Amino acid sequence: MAKVPTSRIDRLLSSMGYGSRAEMARMAKAGGITLDGADLTDVSQRIPLTPDLPARLSIDGAPLDPLPGLVILLHKPLGMTCSHKEEGPLVHDLLPKRWRARDPAISTVGRLDKQTSGLLLLTDDGDLLHRIISPRRHIRKTYRARLARPLKGTEAATFASGTLMLEGEEKPLAPADLTVISETEALLTVTEGRYHQVRRMFAATGNHVEALHRESLGGLTLPADLAPGKWTLLDAAGIASIFTGEGGN
């Protein structure tokens, strides 16, 4: 069985954004930290990082935040950006403020454009992040697109061909699957994550995407009851379902 890692309590809390190690020592002295209901005064002691720790350790009367290794499923609203380099409000602003100071940092798993809504994952687990975005894994992403012009009827064959070249690129796109919903609405499933890929694919067929929403990623679907701007944490089964039905190895 794998050995459970341990951490000094002050170091753990500091890396989770609660404050400096000195601040953690002061908070403990003032009775602000409890373990299993009893005041914890020595924050230099090591503690096993077991999954039940957030329920056992309380900070200022509230349960400890999720431990490192968290995976967040966010319903990204329109108008928020994934990258700190872009202008405008950030998806990170939707998470508790303290989490911005977490180390390892929480990053988006790939990106959605500012004007794309839908399922977005964020995590502090770098290995997991790379497994999800690795082109070798061919994780399926399904987008609902509303189009400016009626579909011609040839788009599904074009997208499935594996020969479509996007402007300025040298490698054709992998085959993608189009399901027509109406003359101006379709679901498109892609296994790559190229820049503005869906918008550029429809542009290559002479159309224009007016609205774009990601409905699913791998075996995960955006929960119908998760409103825009809201998020939930994935458990181990949820994380595993990202990789269900993947086309690659």
Q: Is there binding between residue 75 and ligand URA (CB under 6 A)?
A: no
Hey, what are 187's tokens?
């679901």
CA distance 214 to 189: 10
* Nearer of residues 13 and 176 to ligand URA, judged by Cβ: 176
d(CA 173, CA 159): 8
Site for ligand URA in 207-226 (CB under 6 A): 212
**CA dihedral defined by 214, 216, 220, 224, rounded to 10 degrees?**
70
Minimum distance of ligand URA from residue 126's CB (angstroms): 22
SS3 content of the chain, % helix, strand, coil (to 5): 25, 25, 50
User: Closest distance between ligand URA and the C-beta of residue 173, in Å?
Assistant: 12
Nearer to ligand URA, 99 or 202 (CB): 202
Choice among 113, 124, 127, 225 that is catalytic = 113
Interface map 171-210 toward ligand URA (x if CB under 6 A): -------------------------xxxx-----------
Residue 205 gets the label, from left (phi > 0), alpha (psi -120 to 50) or beta, of alpha
Catalytic residue status for 127:
no
When the beta carbons of 131 and 196 are compared against ligand URA, the nearer one is 196
Beta carbon nearer to ligand URA, 58 or 158: 158
The string of DSSP letters for 75-139 reads EEPTT-BS-TTSSS-BGGGGS-GGGGG-SSPPEESS---TTEEEEEEEES-HHHHHHHH-GGG--
Pairwise CA distance, residues 198 & 115, whole Å? 12
Segment interacting with ligand URA (CB under 6 A) among 11-19, 37-45, 110-118, 154-162:
110-118
With respect to ligand URA, which residue has the nearer C-beta, 46 or 149?
149
Asked whether 9 and 48 are in contact (CB, 8 A), the reply is no
CB of 70 to ligand URA, least distance (A): 23
Q: Which of 81, 116, 123, 191 binds ligand URA (CB under 6 A)?
A: 116
Tell me the number of residues near ligand URA by CB under 6 A. Answer: 8
Question: Distance between CA atoms of 89 and 81, rounded to whole angstroms?
Answer: 6
Cis peptide before 104 (omega within 30 of 0): yes
Find the shortest distance in angstroms from Cβ 202 to ligand URA.
9
CB of 183 to ligand URA, least distance (A): 21
From 103, 21, 5, 119, select the one nearest 53 (Cα to Cα): 5
Q: Annotated catalytic sites, by residue?
A: 113
Contact positions vs ligand URA (CB under 6 A): 112-113, 116, 196-199, 212
